[in-house]
């Protein structure tokens, strides 16, 4: 494993751990690519956490590198402060209109889980509203100075067009969701906004009472959003692993483990794999399934085959390599993504399950190709394409005829 990746994976947590510190110390002593690490840390949303953990170990690194990490941490804190002030203003607008809302992901975690808001970088603000309220909420924000970001989005997508507003020279983006996941493979549970809100936890945002998911639903959403996405989405970032590790370690005594195992078995079976990014504490290991018998290959590596990587981006790559990346992804990713129960299930997943999944997207793109070239006139074929999901057709990475578009939920 590359040294810079090893260091960042070990830092994918908030609290230090004796085993983690020992491994981090050793990795730093044998490391020299500090500039590359700095770039990779920012790419993975891990700059502030990297500084946080390196401050706790004795290591030799260039002074300019460490100073740059500190600057990154301060910068993210300043950005997050503006984002949270804006979030407070948005929540006041909704509160005045009696519109219930749940704060998602980083905007909730940076204030309730992380000890310093600067440790958890944010790109935007994601909010969940009831389906019957989301258009009203969108209109309210437009009346309060937000503008619509132009983008291709079907009418039935799970969030409306992003809204943005300039706040002290910072472009703040807000996305209003009426659902949590897209309607395409790998498939997701349907969670009721009413139930999520009723079971939600309150916290303070700039003097306003806000609400976030209950612990178990937060864990499920963090996992699905980062590690169980459609194959066309971009790879996970290590900050998402840090969110999960930090949540489990901080809340392991309060989490309803029986509920997680029965209602969200995928995330429950995936948790042991995070041990190979950064070691779980003994307290957590008592709650989660046993660790795999051996360290899976490709720890921390994501799926990088088709359809995630467009064929035009792989022109210089040999055909055998393209096929291998598509149909033989890293074992660690297979375990995290498909969460097979046992060796036999893992074998089936690698040989049949993943292959079937890739061919689902192949069939979809083939129908798009036929449709775009006027080769489908059958009403039955059009109906079948419609059943596969208009959201996928418009918001997947469409790889044909210049329709390539990246979308990150």
Instruction: Check: CB of residue 72 under 8 Å from CB of residue 48.
Output: yes
Q: Express each pLDDT in 1-29 by its tens digit.
A: 478 999 999 999 999 999 999 999 999 98
pLDDT (0 to 100) of residue 151: 73
Taking alpha carbons only, the member of 299, 218, 290 closest to residue 260 is 218
d(CA 239, CA 122): 10
Helix (H) / strand (E) element for 212: namely strand 208-212
Those residues with Cβ within 8 angstroms of residue 268's Cβ, 6 or more apart along the chain or in another chain: 257, 260, 261, 288, 289
- Measured CA to CA in angstroms, residue 118 lies from 67, 113, 217 at distances of 16, 12, 24
In this predicted model, which residue has the larger pLDDT, 54 or 316?
54
Which of 152-156, 179-183, 287-291 has the weakest average pLDDT? 152-156
Give the 3-state secondary structure of residue 157.
coil
Q: Express each pLDDT in 219-251 by its tens digit.
A: 999 999 999 999 999 999 999 999 999 999 999
Residues 260-278 have a mean pLDDT of: 97
Report the interhelical angle of 63-96 vs 34-43 (nearest 10°): 10
Beta bridge mates, 167: 170
d(CA 197, CA 133): 14
Give the 3-state secondary structure of residue 238.
helix
Which of 35-39, 40-44, 152-156 has the weakest average pLDDT? 152-156
d(CA 233, CA 307): 9
In this predicted model, which residue has the larger pLDDT, 279 or 400?
279
Question: Does the pLDDT at position 335 exceed 60?
Answer: yes
d(CA 275, CA 12): 11
pTM, two decimals, is: 0.90
Residues, the chain = 409
- Cβ atoms within 10 Å, residue 190: 8
The whole-chain average pLDDT of the chain stands at: 89
Share of residues in the chain with pLDDT > 70 (%): 90
Q: Tokens 């906004």 correspond to what residue?
A: 193
Domain boundaries, the chain: 311-395
pLDDT (0 to 100) of residue 408: 35
Classify residue 64 as left (phi > 0), alpha (psi -120 to 50) or beta: alpha
Helix (H) / strand (E) element for 371: namely helix 354-372
d(CA 15, CA 114): 10
Give the 3-state secondary structure of residue 240.
helix
Q: Express each pLDDT in 369-396 by its tens digit.
A: 888 777 754 555 555 545 444 444 444 4
């Amino acid at each position: 494993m590359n040294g810079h990746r090893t260091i960042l994976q070990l830092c994918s947590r908030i609290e230090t751990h004796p085993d983690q510190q020992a491994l981090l110390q050793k990795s730093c002593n044998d490391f020299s690519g500090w500039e590359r690490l700095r770039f990779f840390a920012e790419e993975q949303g891990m700059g502030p956490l990297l500084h946080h953990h390196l401050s706790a170990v004795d290591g030799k690194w260039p002074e300019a590198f460490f100073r740059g990490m500190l600057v990154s941490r301060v910068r993210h804190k300043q950005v997050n402060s503006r984002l949270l002030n804006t979030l407070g203003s948005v929540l006041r607008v909704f509160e005045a209109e009696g519109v219930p809302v749940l704060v998602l992901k980083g905007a909730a975690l940076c204030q309730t889980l992380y000890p310093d808001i600067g440790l958890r970088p944010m790109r935007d603000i994601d909010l969940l509203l009831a389906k019957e309220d989301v258009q009203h909420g969108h209109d309210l924000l437009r009346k309060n100075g937000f503008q619509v970001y132009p983008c291709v989005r079907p009418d039935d997508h799970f969030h409306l067009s992003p809204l943005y507003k300039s706040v002290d020279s910072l472009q703040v983006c807000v996305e209003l969701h009426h659902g949590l996941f897209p309607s395409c493979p790998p498939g997701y549970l349907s969670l009721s906004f009413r139930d999520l809100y009723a079971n939600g936890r309150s916290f303070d945002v700039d003097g306003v009472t806000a609400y976030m998911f209950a612990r178990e639903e937060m864990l499920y959403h963090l996992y699905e959003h980062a590690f169980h996405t459609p194959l066309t989405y971009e790879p996970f970032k290590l900050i998402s692993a840090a969110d999960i590790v930090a949540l489990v370690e901080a809340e392991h005594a309060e989490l309803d483990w029986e509920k997680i195992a029965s209602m969200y078995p995928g995330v429950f079976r995936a948790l042991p794999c995070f041990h190979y990014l950064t070691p779980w504490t003994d307290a957590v290991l008592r709650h989660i399934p046993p660790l795999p018998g051996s360290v899976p290959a490709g720890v921390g590596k994501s799926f990088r085959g088709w359809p995630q990587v467009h064929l035009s981006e792989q022109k210089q790559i040999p055909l055998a390599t393209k096929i291998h990346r598509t149909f033989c992804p890293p074992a660690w990713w297979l375990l995290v993504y498909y969460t097979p129960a046992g060796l036999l299930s893992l074998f089936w997943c690698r040989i049949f399950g993943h292959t079937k999944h890739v061919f689902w997207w192949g069939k979809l793109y083939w129908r798009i190709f036929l449709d775009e070239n006027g080769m489908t006139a059958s009403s039955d074929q059009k109906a079948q394409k419609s059943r596969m999901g208009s959201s996928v057709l418009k918001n997947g990475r469409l790889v044909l005829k210049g329709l390539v578009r990246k979308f990150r939920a």
